[in-house]
Amino acid sequence: MMVDTTQKSNVKLHVLERFREVNSTFPKTSHLLDYKRSGNKVFGWLCTYSPEEIMHAAGILPIRIIGYSQEAELDDGNAYLYVNSCSFSRSCLQLGLGGGYDFLDGVVGGSTCDGARRLFDLWRNYIGTPFYHVLTVPRKYTEKAHALYYHEVAQFKQHLEEFLGSKIADEALYESIKLYNESRKLLRQLYDLRKLDDPPITGAETMEVSNASFRMPKEIFNRWLKDLLEEISASGNTHTGRSRLMLIGSVLTNPEFIKSIEDQGGLVVADELCTGTRYWGDPVVLDETKSPLEAISRRYLNNFPCARMFPSDERFNRIIDFIQDFRVEGVISQIIRYCVPYCHDLPLLTKRLKALGIPILALDVEYGTSGSGQIQTRVQAFLEMLEAKRK
């Protein structure tokens, strides 16, 4: 199969290189080290159910805990979490045990899945960080569930205030909400560019931006992303591909994985990853009837859901909306081994997509993979099948 090579040469995006620099030096980026040196606190959070605005409003820099961005030896992770925890949690723990996150002043997460819950248990026992908090995250969207989650968020805020010895004012929360919503809005603008027939940015490039979004101060990130959007619009870059694809499934941070799909001519135009769309998905909606804390808690529970939530159709419908909005022709599901919530959803989602005539390629992967030979072969066959279907 020949890959279309008639693409004109695209110009290099300089701001993108800056994002790459952040990603390649994470966790110990110059921003974070500078921040610490000036006496500020940095917290690590795990899972998109940890309300970042509250930490930010308290003057803390929240960054996301993730593992090695490549497939790595996980001897310590295996010894502590056993081999049947997902490689994401093992990778995070391995990085933590090796001192990768020794600058953190606090760790925050939710009771989202077994892997995350156990990672926290072991983190607390074997790594230890001054502040530690796990929020109970309901699995439903009922009013009662919202009330419980609000209670949890309020408890978290109170715990944080006790730890810092100072109150978090509503004004500060409003400011943080504004800042974070700005990030979300800019990321949406970036993603919207991919709705075009020949998008000016690839899926792998987009991942460099979204990865950096949870690894650096939002104040700087927003400035850079504005610059990038301008640079893209001036560049006249375009990317063409054999088929428009959407990437779904477990946590993914290695852009090389997306690049390996795009190198074969697949155009990744959308995703439902917790490191992509599910991270920036919905804004915090403020109105007169809600306190800023309530607005935050609503947003985090209602956001584009993880497969842990019930009913699963909430997630499936969002995926289907994206398929329509981005004119997706095929879906690639990449599920990390032992990522059980996604494993359970797969047969149900496959059935729904089949009814809509959308083919799905289901890949089992280990966290950090850049796409093995076997994966590439399967992707190639999938792309050929999509092309044959079009004829």
Partner 1 sequence: MKTLGIDIGSLTTKVVIFENGSILSSVITASGDEPEAVAKEAVRSALRRAGSSFNDDIYIVSTGVGRKSISFSQQQKAITTCLARGVYYLCPSARMVIDIGAESTTVVKLNDRGRVRDWANHDKCAAGTGIFLQQMAKLMQVPVEEMSKLSLQAKSGVEITSTCAVFTESEVISHIHREPPTPKQEIVAGIYLSVISRIMALCKRIGIEKDVALSGGVALNSGVVNTLEKEIGFGVLVPDTPQLVAALGGAILAEENVEKGSN
Partner 2 sequence: MTSFQNSKIDTIVRVCRLIMRMNRTRPNARPSEAMYYQMLTNYFTRLLNARENGDFVAAHTVFFPAELIYAMDMVPMHTETTTWMTALFTGECSDILEAGAQLGLATEICTPHRGLAGAFALGSLPHPDVILWSSMVCDNTAKSGELIMELCHCPGFFIDRPFNDSEYEIQYLVGELGDMVRFLEEKSGRKMNWDKLAEIVARMDRQIELIRNINELRKTVPTPFHSQGFLELLTIDYLFPGQPESIEYLETLYQELTAMVQEGKGAVPHEHFRLMSLFIPPMYLIGFFERISQEYGAVSVIEPFFTYWGEGRLDRANPLESVARKSYMLPEARMYGPMDERTLNSIVDCAQQYKVDGAIYYADVGCRHACATIKLFKDTLNDIDVPVLTLDCDVVDQSVTSEEEVREKLEQFFELLEDR
Give the count of beta carbons closer than 10 Å to the beta carbon of residue 144. 10
Distance CA 254, CA 375 (A): 15
H/E element holding 87?
helix 87-97
Binding flag, residue 371, partner 2 (CB under 8 A): no
Nearest by Cα to 50 from 206, 141, 180: 180
Cα 184 to its chain centre, rounded Å, is: 12
Q: Which stretch binds partner 1 (CB under 8 A): 30-38, 68-76, 161-169, 262-270?
A: 68-76
The one of partner 1, partner 2, none whose footprint includes residue 75, by CB under 5 to 8 A per kind, is partner 1
Q: Which stretch binds partner 1 (CB under 8 A): 18-26, 69-77, 253-261, 376-384?
A: 69-77
The one of partner 1, partner 2, none whose footprint includes residue 118, by CB under 5 to 8 A per kind, is partner 2
> In the set 4, 73, 143, 287, which binds partner 1 (CB under 8 A)?
73
Binding flag, residue 344, partner 2 (CB under 8 A): yes
> In the set 10, 240, 312, 380, which binds partner 2 (CB under 8 A)?
312
Count residues binding partner 2 (CB under 8 A): 50
The one of partner 1, partner 2, none whose footprint includes residue 325, by CB under 5 to 8 A per kind, is none
Phi/psi of residue 32, each to 5°?
A: -70, -40
> In the set 1, 3, 11, 79, which binds partner 1 (CB under 8 A)?
79
Q: Which stretch binds partner 2 (CB under 8 A): 3-11, 98-106, 122-130, 224-232?
A: 122-130
Which residues have CB under 8 Å from 193's CB, separation 6+?
A: 199, 200, 201, 232
What are the helix (H) ranges across 136-169? 143-164
Phi/psi of residue 110, each to 5°?
A: -120, 165
Range 183-198 burial, b when 16+ CB lie within 10 A, else e: bbebbeebbebbeeee
- Smaller CB separation from partner 1, 276 or 368: 368
Binding region for partner 1 (CB under 8 A)? 73, 75-76, 78-79
